[in-house]
Structure 1
Amino acid sequence: MNEKMRQRIIEVCNEKIEKKGVDVGLSFYAFFANKNTNPEILMEVAQWWIMTHQLDHFEKAIKIREMMINKL
């Protein structure tokens, strides 16, 4: 995953945690303003989320943020 997208994911997670607390969950769609804006990046994130890490549709933002920080 490219660094720009990794930083975007961390920013969105931080915003969600700040607004709704550490138990807030999100799906990978939360990182995109419009699901069709950049389908290549959307598919890259979906591949990382679903195939690589076998995450549930909704995961805790804090977990995703830590995975991005640790570059898993």
Structure 2
Amino acid sequence: MTTILKHKIITVCDKKIAQKGTNVGISFYAFFKNKNDNPELLMEAATWWIKTHQLNHFEKAVKIKALVNSL
């Protein structure tokens, strides 16, 4: 995982947890704007989420943050 994606995931997870609590769920789309302005980073996130870890569409933000922090 690139440093850019790792930082983006941690930042988004922290923001969502602060806004909605530790039970908030997110998908990998949460790390991107509604328009696809960085397809390489989107594919990296999708591959990590779906292929590498076989995660569900929505997962707890705390779980995703812990996975990323373990890298």
Name 1:20's counterpart in structure 2. 20
Deviations along 1:32-60, one digit per CA (max 9) or x if unpaired, are 11341111110111000001100000000
Point out where structure 2 has 5 or more consecutive residues left out of the alignment: none
Name 2:44's counterpart in structure 1. 44
Aligned-residue CA RMSD in angstroms?
Answer: 0.8
Aligned AA for 1:65? K
Point out where structure 1 has 5 or more consecutive residues left out of the alignment: none
- Counterpart-to-counterpart distance in 2, 1:42 and 1:9: 12
Q: Judge conservation of contact 1:28–1:49 (CA < 8 Å) in 2.
A: yes
Q: Judge conservation of contact 1:13–1:61 (CA < 8 Å) in 2.
A: yes
Identical counterparts, % of pairs: 58
Cα deviation for residue 68 of structure 1 reads 0.7
- Counterpart-to-counterpart distance in 2, 1:65 and 1:44: 16
Compute the TM-score of the two structures, normalised by the length of structure 2: 0.95
- List structure 1 runs of 4+ shifted beyond 2 angstroms: none
The range that moved more, 53-62 or 34-43, is 34-43
- Counterpart secondary structure, 2:19: helix
Q: What is the total number of aligned residue pairs between the two structures?
A: 71
